[in-house]
Chain A
Amino acid sequence: GEDVEQSLFLSVREGDSSVINCTYTDSSSTYLYWYKQEPGAGLQLLTYIFSNMDMKQDQRLTVLLNKKDKHLSLRIADTQTGDSAIYFCARLIGNYGQNFVFGPGTRLSVLP
């Protein structure tokens, strides 16, 4: 996962917006993803974006993709304590375009 980078920690206050950032080095991916992982659990698919799009919105989640800068972000509006988790950025690669390279994850802490 060394070609997908994320900051490791983010703290926000409940009700504020959170912005989690991700950069990657290889622009050949077809899709880019955000997954959420709560302690001791598997990964929950939050959203994904096709590489020819620059924005996708899904309820409280907004994904922005800047292909030129190879930068992906996830904005969570009105962040709640239940949003506290680790958020992984991932890009789809592989000979069959089917496996992920994940970033190291950003641990989001939501303070009351």
Chain B
Amino acid sequence: DTGVSQNPRHKITKRGQNVTFRCDPISEHNRLYWYRQTLGQGPEFLTYFQNEAQLEKSRLLSDRFSAERPKGSFSTLEIQRTEQGDSAMYLCASSLAGPEQYFGPGTRLTVT
């Protein structure tokens, strides 16, 4: 198992465009999380899936953000009408039922 993978690793987009990121969790991990990390800060929770169900969403997740996990395996995070304030590292993590969460390498988004 190669761990949590995220694609792309870097994305540069113009303000107003839509972007989509993908996360592939560790196989058989039924729990998947998205976090956002801005420069010099710790990660902030965005949303949590158990299997295909999105069970928790942070108030940080505005209506321009949508996350899916259609088959309970990989997940996508879409940002519509990107703004410069969306520039950040988007981190995905996965876990089983226990307390250990494993993070992917992140997707760095730059909105110009």
Q: Which residues of A contact B (CB under 8 A)?
A: 1, 4, 30-31, 35, 41-45, 48, 50, 88, 90, 92, 94-96, 98-105
Chain B interface, >50% SS class: strand
Residues of A contacting B100 in the complex (Cβ-Cβ under 8 angstroms): 45, 48
Supposing A42-B106, A48-B100, A105-B42 touch, asked if A98 and B48 sit within 8 A by C-beta, the answer is yes
CB of A95 within 8 A of CB of B56, answer yes
Contacts of B56 in A (CB 8 A): 94-96, 98-99
Asked if residues B103 and A44 are in contact (CB atoms below 8 Å), the reply is: yes
The 8 Å CB contact of A102, one of B31, B40, B42, is B42
Please, which residues of chain B bring their CB within 8 A of the CB of A100? Answer: 35, 43, 45, 101
Contact residues of B between 1 and 58, Cβ < 8 Å to A: 4, 31, 33, 35, 40-45, 48, 50, 55-56
Q: How many residues of B contact A (CB 8 A)?
A: 25
Question: Chain B interface (Cβ within 8 Å of chain A)?
Answer: 4, 31, 33, 35, 40-45, 48, 50, 55-56, 91, 93, 95, 99-106
Q: Complex Cα distance A41/B89, Å?
A: 10
A48 close to B99 (CB less than 8 A): yes
Contacts of A105 in B (CB 8 A): 40-42
A-B pairs with the 3 shortest C-beta distances? A102-B42, A43-B103, A99-B45
